Amino acid sequence: MQDDVLHLEGIRKSYGSGDLETEILHGIDLRLQRGEFAALIGPSGSGKSTLLNLIGLLDRPTSGKLEIDGEDIARLDDAELTRLRGKRIGFVFQHHNLIPAFTAEENVAMPMLVARGRPEREMFETAARLLGQVGLGERRRHLANRLSGGQQQRVAIARALAMNPALVLADEPTGNLDTHSADEVFNLLRDFNRQQATTFLIVTHDPRLAARCDRIIELIDGCIDSDRQAT
């Protein structure tokens, strides 16, 4: 039986206070099991970014239960939350957020360096292996700003996987790419999902990409409107 990598129960998120308080998420219940490959869709203003920030441990819910890989975040202080995020969650954004003056290899090694506090040979061996897996082994020592947009997004994927996370959150990962590059990036995410049983939650406005996921979760007005298997 598969186990939950993500468990949300009754998640609410409000901003402001008193008469100015606005609730953005209204009691979200959601589970993602190990190895799932799910899309999160919904119109602008539906609460997708707020939900992703909570799942990514960048913010705390106003109320409700949130567990990452069996760890209840309510019991963690900010330092413990940061450590959990660094170890168990990988991020791929629409904008790759690479450090331009660093090589591809150095960018991929960065999460490991932050976690361990000092450079080690093993970090760069892991970075080189991951870059090879995304087809950039021969360009691992190229500066990030010398790579194409599609190549930079591949580096970002390798970086997201550097700590062998249980969950990868991908926020419009193909939004800035042409159709061919978008397909290549999507296929890489899918390959890692299948090979390593890494759980992926992909935010996308592209119905074509969402349909290629296993599961489609639709958020409307801060509530899950539908949760279905892709056809």
Phi and psi (nearest 5°) for 40?
A: -115, 115
Residue 40 parent element (H or E): strand 37-41
Confidence category of residue 2, pLDDT binned at 50, 70, 90: low
Rounded Cα gap, residues 32 and 175, in angstroms: 24
Asked which of 47-61, 66-80, 174-188 is least confident by mean pLDDT, the reply is 174-188
Q: Is the pLDDT of residue 142 over 60?
A: yes
Average of per-residue pLDDT across 5-22? 92
Exposed e or buried b per residue across 34-73, where buried means at least 16 C-beta atoms within 10 angstroms of its C-beta:
ebbbbbbbbeeebbbebbbbbbbbeeebeebebbbbebeb
| Per-residue CA distances from 91 to 133, 149, 190, 217 (Å) | 18, 17, 15, 19
What confidence tens digit (pLDDT) does each residue in 75-103 have? 999 999 999 999 999 999 877 789 999 99
Q: Residue 37 pLDDT more than 60?
A: yes
Extents of the domains making up the chain = 36-60+82-229
Whole-angstrom Cα distance, residue 119 to residue 8?
A: 36
Structure tokens at 225: 């409107």
CATH number of 36-60+82-229: 3.40.50.300
pLDDT attached to residue 90: 93
User: Is 130 a residue whose pLDDT tops 70?
Assistant: yes
Confidence check: pLDDT of 1 > 60: no
